[in-house]
Amino acid sequence: MSTSQFIAGMIGPVFMAIAAFMVIRRDAFGEFARAAVSDRPVIFLAGVLLLIAGVAIVQAHNLWTDDWRVIITLLGWLGVLGGVGRIFFPDFAKPIVDYIKSDNPAVIVTAVLYFAFGAYLLAKAHAYL
């Protein structure tokens, strides 16, 4: 199993679980999102954890190819940028979360995209290169 497959095998199910939670527990998802963006220490901690995960992925997999494996590298760099963004700009997401309610169709569309992306990564994790 390659490093790309290993990381895809870890990230894919996480995306799928988040997507399932967004659909099955829509009210709780909205409540958690509103609570999280209102708690600056939680945003800071989430930023630190995302930064650590992003740096770990980039350190293990900074591979710029013309196939699916570049997705892993891009996710690592997005993790780095997202982590730094949460640390330095903790209030950025609050207006977005306040605007989008849990019954908004955008939540379902996002969940479907997350689930499909996670399934794609999981399939790639278990495919032969």
Per-residue model confidence as pLDDT tens digits over 37-62: 888 999 999 999 999 999 999 999 99
Q: Is the pLDDT of residue 99 over 80?
A: no
What confidence score (pLDDT) does residue 95 get? 82
Q: Is the pLDDT of residue 100 over 80?
A: no
Mean pLDDT computed over every residue of the chain: 92
The number of distinct structural domains making up the chain is 1
Nearest alpha carbon to residue 16 among 126, 111, 128, 92: 111
Which tokens belong to 110?
């996002």
Helix, strand, coil content of the chain in percent (nearest 5): 80, 0, 20
Angle at 18 between CA 17 and CA 21, to 5 degrees: 85
What confidence score (pLDDT) does residue 102 get? 66
Angle at 22 between CA 19 and CA 27, to 5 degrees: 175
Which tokens belong to 35?
């609570």
Which domain, by its residues, includes 15?
3-125
